[in-house]
A = this chain, B = another copy of it.
Amino acid sequence: MGKSIAACLCFFSAACLMAVFSCAPDKADLVKTGKINTGEYDPEAWGKVYPNEYESWHKTRDPRPAGKSAYKKGWDTDKIIYDKLSEYPFMALIFKGMGFGIEYNEPRGHYYMREDQDIIDQSRTKSGGVCLNCKTPYMDSLVKKHGKEFLKMPWKEAVAKIPAKHKNLGATCIDCHRESDMDLRTNRSVFSEGISHLDKKEFTRQEKRILVCAQCHVTYNIPKGKKGETMGLVHPWKGSKWGDISIENIIKFIKNDPKYLEWKQTVTGLKLGFLRHPEFEFFTRQSVHFKGGLACADCHMPYRRAGSVKISDHNLMSPLKDDLRACIKCHPEKTEELRSQVLAIQDRTVSLLLRAGYSAATAAKLFETANKNRDRDFDRGLYEKAKDFYLEAMYRLIFMGAENSLGFHNPSEAGRILGDSIAFSSKSEALLRQCLAGAGIKVPEVVPLEVGKYLKDRGEKKLNFIKNQEFRDPFAVQEKLIPRKQAGF
């Protein structure tokens, strides 16, 4: 009897202990590593060892559910490729003079990153081989094989140098992973060079989960020679720090050397630098999520179950299109509430982006008027100052217009940069109005922007304005400053 009580209690103790530990989720099996040959580019070979990751990576080919994101609708089940110049018509005016002013689409998934370059208006690949930097995993090996000449090689010729089987292969396993143990690493010498200018040499695994994405989701400049030929590719980070690559420092970098003036803006006749999708710079500049210790992969590659293992989801997308699965892990609100928080931030950014865009467009048209009247006697000092303020405005505007989160990656920094852009372009407008009036040139209260003219018959495809894609100011403030009917659609 004693023994049976003891046995009974023993069972109870065990049950009790099980109860204690039953809170822990069912533990996932460890991902098994296997042999990948050094320098293996082929994702299929990696896929044999890591079938779950491979499968999820391959899904970037699939369209996303439509209607989940208000502002980023690149490749959804509606199969429409959205035209950024129709979404933000001021961009057609300010980008006139370069490829972005001809065809500028919201991007499709990673799967299409290389082949979309063949489809887009070829003005966009005018810089040549350099445009492959982020598009093919072979970039460094191509430069090694063909020398620096590869960078300025005519586009089609450069594409033909990619091994035929992988001509259309975009970002792939080898770009982010070391073959031997899957550790994270980067695969772009240009990027390593850029990062070397920051004050940081060692990176934690969590920081590497930012760096691998940053290889491509960054801004860069293509220095040009005297005849406009491509001289290389650099990231404008000299003098910046980890967690503090400011727009101010980037502008200083561009302004510091005329070789970074990559294009001439048609409307103003000014030579300007350019900025691209600065997700890395913008997110890491003291955003709430960055300061909270998060990496890109936490939100864009959340862990998910694949059978008995747990994998980082390689089917990258906006969390909005994934029903905020990544967000819910830390923010246990309802999906629709989280979505509306994101939208509240994006609405505000879009509103300011329109303000900054049309303000820069207004100043641009005043430069055009001033330039047509070069012979008139207006104050050159004011004109030069207006030019300097305009450049300050433009670089901030291009930066925020290219950033792919509509401010969400760093909401208050978005407000700061766009607010400053507005301050600079409006000041430019003010000085130009004074110049012109002083020289007896009449300017109406609302400067005719002739937006319709810039949207029409663009490039080889004769692209036109798609009215229903335009984003209107969610707060209707833009209409007070520049009534739409006077913008010249």
Contacts and interface: CB of A to CB of B under 8 A. Distances in A.
B412 A431 contact: no
A309 interface: no
B352 A419 contact: yes
Given A412-B345, A431-B445, A420 B355 contact: yes
Contacts of A288: 341
Tell me whether chain A's interface is mostly helix, strand or loop, or mixed.
Answer: helix
A25 interface: no
A293 B334 CA distance: 11
Nearest to A430: B430
Given A355-B420, A415-B418, A424-B481, 12 more contacts: A9-B9, A20-B20, A286-B340, A291-B341, A355-B423, A382-B445, A392-B480, A411-B415, A415-B415, A423-B477, A423-B481, A434-B437
A293 B341 CA distance: 12
A427 B381 contact: no
Contacts of A351: 416, 420
Interface string A17-50: 1011000000000000000000000000000000
Contacts of A16: 13, 16-17, 20
A376 to B, nearest CB: 13
Interface in A266-298: 286, 288, 291-293
B291 A344 contact: yes
A420 B340 contact: no
Nearest to A2: B2
Most buried by B among A1, A3, A429: A429
Contacts of A477: 248, 420, 423
Nearest to A385: B445
Contacts of A385: 445
A374 to B, nearest CB: 18
Contacts of A480: 392
Contacts of A5: 2-3, 6
A374 B453 CA distance: 40
Interface of A: 1-3, 5-6, 9-10, 12-13, 16-17, 19-20, 246, 248, 286, 288, 291-293, 331, 333, 337, 340-341, 344-345, 348-349, 351-352, 355-356, 359, 381-382, 385, 389, 392, 407, 411-416, 418-420, 422-424, 426-427, 429-431, 433-438, 443, 445, 475-477, 480-481
A150 to B, nearest CB: 39
B426 A430 contact: yes
A415 B419 contact: yes
Contacts of A10: 9
A259 B286 CA distance: 45
Nearest to A12: B13
Contacts of A341: 286, 288, 291-292
Most buried by B among A344, A349, A476: A344
Contacts of A438: 437-438
A409 to B, nearest CB: 12
Contacts of A437: 433-435, 437-438
Contacts of A433: 430-431, 433-434, 437
A425 B356 CA distance: 14
Contacts of A422: 419, 422-423, 426
Nearest to A351: B416
